[in-house]
Structure 1
Amino acid sequence: MQVAIGLVGMVTIFAIAILLSNNRSAINLRTISTAFLIQAAIAALILFVPAGGLVLDKVVKGVQTVINYGNDGIAFVFGSNLQATLGFTIAFNVLPVIVFFAALMSVLYYLGVMQRVVGVFGGWLHKLLNTSHAESVSAVSNIFVGHTDAPLVVKPYLAGMTQSELFAVMTGGCATIAGAVMMGYAQMGVELKYLITASFMAAPGALMMAKIMMPETEPHDERPHTELVDEADAPVNIFEAIGNGAMTGMHVAMAVGAMLIAFVGLIYLLNGVLTGIGGWFGFEGLTLQWLLGHAFSPIAFLLGVPWAEATQAGSLIGQKLVINEFYAYVSFVEIKDSLSPYTQLVVTFALCGFSNLASIAILLGGLGAIAPSRRHDIARLGLRAVIGGTLVNLMNASLAGFFFSLQ
């Protein structure tokens, strides 16, 4: 039954995307079907094929070792007995890891490692999907860096991109999370294996969803481009790369911390108001989480989540869309152990993306600064990109649940 409901969920997601398409007759079935097969193959390889799962387990173990090295840096600055004294805290156990991994990614880009990885995988997607080289490389870049940094890979091409290409770049940014932030989620207790799988699935998934909602109808530039930044902006040595990455990570960590303080406080305020209003009518449990849970529970159910857990899962999906994914993951970790393994998997995949309403402003500010001439297009396409990214995350969750059920 769970498998059947999951299949209905996939069909529903496709139907929504097609209904939102601005040119259904121009949809390239080869691109869509190939992208979906790649997306499904990644899920099957990790969640259904034992050998694939074992390989990723080794990768996760290696990544966890790297995280431990980052924790050594945290202990050096804040003291090794900090957790024993204060317990686990986001401020000291999660946010500093973002700084460490941002610096590490900066070094890997300085050494040219990430450019080669992005270029190879982006080239494969370009050939397999018949999408442009620029949008394919940008989609792969989003696996490793944030949705304001990934477009730097194709910065020289943004101004001349077609509407479909620009939309694909924006959708790819909304459908993924930054590698450094991913490590922060892992520190909180979110399953790193699922986060990595979801991020890789999102690259072909975002191109698929973008080409359904806004198919290509214009000629595009096919020149390859795999540089992260212009030479003038590149660090002069590895020490500057480390410093630049650390500063970038610090800005991200501070922004996340400030956002959590503001949002959590305001949500408690809103819940206080809602509880008071509900009390007037004899309903004591009225909260934002309750409202979101009931609004999004049908979506969770279509992903195969048992109806008994659909309200909890739906609330988390709603929090991710209305607030942001970091807050949703914090809420998820608090109730994770009370959910079934299937629901834990589906929720982890469904939340793994930047697709929330605040991303519209982030895209306009970040991407608009890189390509000022496209600000009007970015503003016009922002909401559609968030919807597209959300559909990618839901499709990832549905596919993951499908193969998990077949085990």
Structure 2
Amino acid sequence: MTYLIGILGLLVVFGLAYLASNNRKRIKYKPIAIMVVIQLVLSALLLNTKFGFVIINGIASVFGKLLEFANEGVGFVFGGMANKGEAPFFLNVLLPIVFISVLIGILQHFKILPFIMKWIGLVLSKINGMGKLESYNAVASAIVGQSEVFITVKKQLGKLPPNRLYTLCASAMSTISMSIVGAYMTMIDPKYVVTAIVINLFGGFIIASIINPYTVPDDEDILVVQEEKQTFFEMLGEYIMDGFKVAVIVGAMLIGFVALMAAIDGLFEMIFGLSFQHILGYVFSPIAFIMGIPASEVITAGGIMATKLVTNEFVAMMSLSDIASTLSPKTVGIVSVFLVSFANFSSIGIIAGAVKSLHEKQGNTVARFGLRLLYGATLVSVLSAIIVSFIL
């Protein structure tokens, strides 16, 4: 029965993507089938084998050690507050982003990350049937973040047609930034974070290949990566401030969204006797069902999924961690994978703003297809959750 629901889920996701396709005749089915198989193999490898266990434990240990180092700096500045147990989320989850941001900056400065991103992107372009720029951008988005990635390709932004620009933005919204992976791992199981990062990469290509199919001519498929000339200490200062800005912005958004959700929940309970999240759970329950979540838990899971879409993944992860003990391990795993992406309404503004800051006309183009962008990125999250449901 699990496999039948999973197959039904795949058909629904592909059907919804097909309905939104802007050129159904140009869809390349062979690369899509290959990438679905790759997603299944990688999910099984990471979640169901000893090798995957070693890999994930190794990655989790690295991030655990990085968080320990980060806490040295946090403790030095905010030691008194930390000792009294005040503001633990901001101190223990968000502020370590600053240190991880610095490490990313160092790897960028010494051209280690650009080398990795470029060559992984080139390999992926052979699999997904898309351009080198699109493949590089997907890898880079998963490392440097959904807004920062456009800086690395800003020389080419103004030359891109809307269809290629859509794919770049879809990749940015479907992935996450390495700078906040450690934060995610404090709220949900690291194995689901790692698995989601890997299969979302291919999921983004799959959905974009259906919604937005095209072929890049060889003479236009040129990858030019922008590298800013900075001294080592200029770079350190920039990435420290960037990391701190991310931590503060995420903290501010959490304050606003959590408070707003509490107010809306209170209002709905007064009027309807049900919380807003509970009502959204009914709306999203069919999607939760095709993702392989047991029928008894689809409303609860649907509410968490809707929370992520309406607010952001941090708010949803906090909701999941609060009730994880009341849900089955399978539901926790599927929902966890669904939550690991930037697919929410606020990301439309973030991505459009990032592109507009580099090229105003292209930023306006992104804003116009914002809802279609979110639609595709959400399908990527649903697809990844369905793939994982076959394995769990």
TM interval, short-chain normalised: over 0.9
User: Could you tell me how far 1:346 is from its partner in structure 2?
Assistant: 0.5
**Which residue of 245, 252, 268 corresponds with 2:239?**
245
Aligned twin of 1:17: 17
Asked whether 1:391 is paired with 2:385, we answer no
AA partner of residue 5 (structure 1): I
Alignment root-mean-square deviation, CA: 1.7
**Which residue of 190, 196, 202 corresponds with 2:200?**
202
1:266-296 Cα deviation digits (max 9, x unpaired): 2222222212212xxxxx3x21111111111
Aligned twin of 2:249: 255
AA partner of residue 208 (structure 2): A
Worse overlay, 372-381 or 291-300: 372-381
- 1:113-262 aligned at under 5 Å gives the runs 113-187=112-186, 189-216=187-214, 219=217, 221-225=220-224, 227=225, 229-231=226-228, 234-237=229-232, 239-262=233-256
Aligned twin of 2:286: 298
Aligned twin of 1:274: 268
1:327-348 Cα deviation digits (max 9, x unpaired): 1111111112221111111011
Q: Tell me, in whole angstroms, the C-alpha distance in 2 between the residues paired with 1:127 and 1:154.
A: 20
Conserved? CA contact 2:42–2:199, under 8 Å: yes
Aligned twin of 2:366: 378
**Structure 1: gaps (5+ residues):** 279-283
Check 1:84–1:301 CA distance in 2 against 1; reply closer, same or farther (3 A cut). farther
Kindly tell me the number of residue pairs found equivalent between the two proteins.
391
User: Could you tell me how far 1:2 is from its partner in structure 2?
Assistant: 2.2
Conserved? CA contact 1:170–1:382, under 8 Å: no
- Structure 2 SS opposite 1:353: coil
The runs of at least 4 aligned residues of structure 1 exceeding 4 Å deviation read: 81-84
User: Could you tell me how far 1:137 is from its partner in structure 2?
Assistant: 0.1
Conserved? CA contact 1:143–1:200, under 8 Å: no
1:91-121 Cα deviation digits (max 9, x unpaired): 2111101111111111111111111111121
Q: Tell me, in whole angstroms, the C-alpha distance in 2 between the residues paired with 1:149 and 1:251.
A: 13
Q: Tell me, in whole angstroms, the C-alpha distance in 2 between the residues paired with 1:52 and 1:3.
A: 22
- 1:323-334 aligned at under 5 Å gives the runs 323-334=311-322
Q: Tell me, in whole angstroms, the C-alpha distance in 2 between the residues paired with 1:209 and 1:264.
A: 31
Aligned twin of 2:7: 7
User: Could you tell me how far 1:353 is from its partner in structure 2?
Assistant: 0.8
AA partner of residue 300 (structure 2): Q
Aligned twin of 1:62: 62
**Structure 2: gaps (5+ residues):** none
User: Could you tell me how far 1:3 is from its partner in structure 2?
Assistant: 2.7
| TM-score after normalising by structure 1 | 0.91
Worse overlay, 267-276 or 94-103: 267-276
User: Could you tell me how far 1:54 is from its partner in structure 2?
Assistant: 2.0
Q: Tell me, in whole angstroms, the C-alpha distance in 2 between the residues paired with 1:339 and 1:73.
A: 36
**Which residue of 274, 296, 299 corresponds with 1:308?**
296
Q: Tell me, in whole angstroms, the C-alpha distance in 1 between the residues paired with 2:217 and 2:382.
A: 31
Check 1:11–1:50 CA distance in 2 against 1; reply closer, same or farther (3 A cut). farther
Check 1:337–1:98 CA distance in 2 against 1; reply closer, same or farther (3 A cut). same
User: Could you tell me how far 1:84 is from its partner in structure 2?
Assistant: 5.0
Worse overlay, 133-142 or 65-74: 65-74
Conserved? CA contact 1:7–1:402, under 8 Å: no
Conserved? CA contact 1:74–1:96, under 8 Å: yes
AA partner of residue 174 (structure 1): M
| TM-score after normalising by structure 2 | 0.95
Check 1:4–1:102 CA distance in 2 against 1; reply closer, same or farther (3 A cut). same
- 1:80-95 aligned at under 5 Å gives the runs 82-86=81-85, 89-95=88-94
1:108-142 Cα deviation digits (max 9, x unpaired): 11111111111121010112222111111001111
- Structure 2 SS opposite 1:139: helix
Aligned twin of 1:33: 33
Q: Tell me, in whole angstroms, the C-alpha distance in 2 between the residues paired with 1:393 and 1:331.
A: 18
Percent identical pairs in the alignment equals: 32
Conserved? CA contact 1:290–1:315, under 8 Å: yes
- Structure 1 SS opposite 2:144: coil
User: Could you tell me how far 1:83 is from its partner in structure 2?
Assistant: 4.5
Aligned twin of 2:340: 352
